[in-house]
Amino acid sequence: MVQAKGDAVSLGTVAITGAAGTIGCVVREALRGEADRLILLDRVPLRREAENEDVHTVDLRDVAAVESALAGADRVLHLGGVPDEAPLPDLLEANVLGTHHVLEAARRTGIERVVLASSNRVTGFYPTEHLTGPQDPVRPDGLYGVSKAAVEALGQLYADKFALSVVCLRIGSFENLPTEPRHLATWLSPRDAIGFIRAALAAPASTRFVTTYAVSNNARRFWELPDPAELAYTPVDDAQLHAADIPMPDHPADPGAPQAGSYALPECTLKHLRP
């Protein structure tokens, strides 16, 4: 349960799946001093780095192992899964079935909040001129986007049917610094990523289901920032401050080009389909 500790807020016991991943490592370090306990899951072995950490080597496809590892958690940050375009069977198994197992564990063990890592790529075929919000129908740019749309649908189902509290974060381009033209719109800085995740974990208990884009406050962004009434975090970083260091910063010039950039090209998916 989230409790005030002076000016700080304790998040109780937080479980993080995919804790060895790029975002998982950053969040693990950031939350170590805010959570009473961290339960860290990944399919690769993890080393315990603090007294309040418990580590588990878990394959998310193993429903019993997932439920056992998550026992005692107050809230879960679900980052685990295949993070990019891949054959659909692999994405369904790791992303969709793995998410189902996490949500089932939450339902069965009484976990208060599940934060699901979705992706901006569930709407990658909207044009860059369109300010896209979570109310827009999904337009996946590939099979990975399809799997994340299914992840969001599972979250909605568990919120509606089982009254689980679920927050879906459509994560932008998580990088230390923006390095390519698309990042000027899509960059999610580590500082803002932590801010979004902290706010999602600590959202009021009355929160039932929320989907929002997790993106820095980029002047060129083409995604809506969250309604403060739904998620109390306003991002602070802007990729535009790094534009001078990026080659061809005004590419693409076509306002009708897909927001996904190269991810929307047929070649991105064709290599994962049967010949």
Mean pLDDT of 129-139: 97
Instruction: Give 1's pLDDT tier (boundaries 50, 70, 90).
Output: very low
Whether 178 is covered by a domain: the verdict is: yes
Whether 97 is covered by a domain: the verdict is: yes
Whether 143 is covered by a domain: the verdict is: yes
Whether 275 is covered by a domain: the verdict is: no
Mean pLDDT of 223-228: 96
CB < 8 Å & 24+ apart, contacts of 153-162: 154/96, 154/99, 154/100, 154/103, 155/99, 155/103, 155/114, 155/116, 155/209, 155/211, 156/209, 158/103, 158/106, 158/107, 158/114, 159/208, 159/209, 160/209, 162/107
Mean pLDDT of 53-60: 98
Interval 29-55: pLDDT, tens: 999 999 999 999 999 999 999 999 999
Mean pLDDT of 120-131: 97
Instruction: Give 117's pLDDT tier (boundaries 50, 70, 90).
Output: very high
Please tell me the predicted confidence (pLDDT) of residue 193.
98
Say whether 176 sits in a helix, a strand or coil.
coil
Radius of gyration of the chain (CA): 18
Whether 258 is covered by a domain: the verdict is: yes
Which tokens hold the place of 251?
């590419």
Whether 68 is covered by a domain: the verdict is: yes
Total number of domains constituting the chain: 1
* CA pair distance 1, 11, nearest whole angstrom: 6
Mean pLDDT of 79-95: 98
Mean pLDDT of 141-160: 98
Percent of the chain with pLDDT over 70: 96
Print the domain residue range for 165: 3-270
Whether 28 is covered by a domain: the verdict is: yes
Q: Residue 8: pLDDT above 70?
A: no
Instruction: Give 143's pLDDT tier (boundaries 50, 70, 90).
Output: very high
Spatial CA neighbour of 105 closest among 75, 63, 77? 63
Instruction: Give 210's pLDDT tier (boundaries 50, 70, 90).
Output: very high
Q: What is the CATH number of the domain that holds 187?
A: 3.40.50.720
Please tell me the predicted confidence (pLDDT) of residue 217.
98
Task: Return mean pLDDT, the chain.
Answer: 95
Please tell me the predicted confidence (pLDDT) of residue 4.
36
Please tell me the predicted confidence (pLDDT) of residue 119.
98
The dihedral through the CA atoms of 193, 24, 80, 205 has a sign that is negative
Whether 249 is covered by a domain: the verdict is: yes
Q: Known catalytic residue: 158? A: no
Active-site annotation holder among 144, 158, 213, 233: 144
Do the beta carbons of residue 145 and residue 121 sit within 8 Å?
A: yes
Q: Residue 275: pLDDT above 90?
A: no
Interval 162-176: pLDDT, tens: 999 999 999 999 999
